[in-house]
Amino acid sequence: MPAAARRDNRSATYQSTDTDNRLTNTDPMWDGSQARQATWFNEKLKRAEADFEFHQLCQSTTVTMSKSGAIAVFSPEHALEHAQGTNKGTMRAPSNRKREDLLARSLAKATAATASPTPAGAPSPTPTSVPVPTATSYAAATSGIKPTTMLEDMLGELASNYRLSSETIEKSQLAFLNYFLDGIDSARLADTWRKKCDKSGTEFIIKFIADMSSKGVSITAEETIETTMREMLGAGRARYGDGNFTN
């Protein structure tokens, strides 16, 4: 099957639901060879760093929501880290936070807010007639009792700058992964990497660098080329007994 046809078919499989114009026909393609692995990866990282959304994912695993301008985070602790500027990642060592289970925390907070336990040793309250509520009594009873959110508990006034939205981050992570996969010429190799990366572009970076390290491939393109040349020349000398790195 022609390479172009394979790439078109793969794009239909991996493409994000958003219109994504980051990839162009001039984007580098990787044929799966070890010699070109680092060169291709470095070029893709360089282009990704120029994209604000991809850079933000690597730095803090957060996403700026287009409509509200709020920062999507996984948890209140995640928001606090972003507000404080701590635990920042880089393009080669990205932040890689994951979705957190906030349901139990939310239910516990709601239960604590609505519970009104009777003090130990106190007699049970005697049922009395319930007065008919009026607009005045209702306003007095409810004024100033609005429960705080988990973000407000953690960040106070800064909470309005953040939203708990795992789906927003995961959608961007999938688009980031697609950015790399669409640069792999072999559909089968791209599918192998897709299965390894849990729909996450930052996961791809971490595992791809680990894969190169396990093969002794430097992530510095120049070093990789030099190593390959030395191996080729070494093989040539063994066969022909002449040639050196300089010439």
The number of folded domains in the chain is 1
* DSSP output for the chain: --HHHHHHHHHHHH--SS------TTS--B-S-HHHHHHHHHHHHHHHHTSHHHHHHHHHS-EE-TTT-PEEESSHHHHHHHHHT-S---SSS---------HHHHHHHHHHHH--PPPTTPPPPPP-PPPPP-HHHHHHHHTT-PPPPHHHHHHGGGGGGEEE-HHHHHHHHHHHHHHHHTTBS-HHHHHHHHHHTTT-HHHHHHHHHHHHHHTT--SSHHHHHHHHHHHHHHHHHHHHS---S--
| 41 within domain boundaries | yes
159 in any annotated domain: no
Question: Is residue 147 very low, low, confident or very high in pLDDT (cuts 50, 70, 90)?
Answer: confident
Least confident interval from 11-20, 97-106, 218-227: 11-20
pLDDT at 209: 96
Question: Mean pLDDT in the chain?
Answer: 80
Let me know if residue 193 belongs to a domain: yes
pTM for this model (two decimals): 0.69
Query: Which domain, by its residues, includes 88?
Result: 30-99+164-240
**Residue range 216-234: mean pLDDT, rounded:** 64
Instruction: Name the band, by pLDDT with cuts 50, 70 and 90, for residue 13.
Output: very low
pLDDT at 97: 94
- pLDDT by residue (tens digit) across 51-106? 999 999 999 999 999 999 999 999 999 999 999 999 999 999 999 999 998 887 77
Any domain includes 106: no
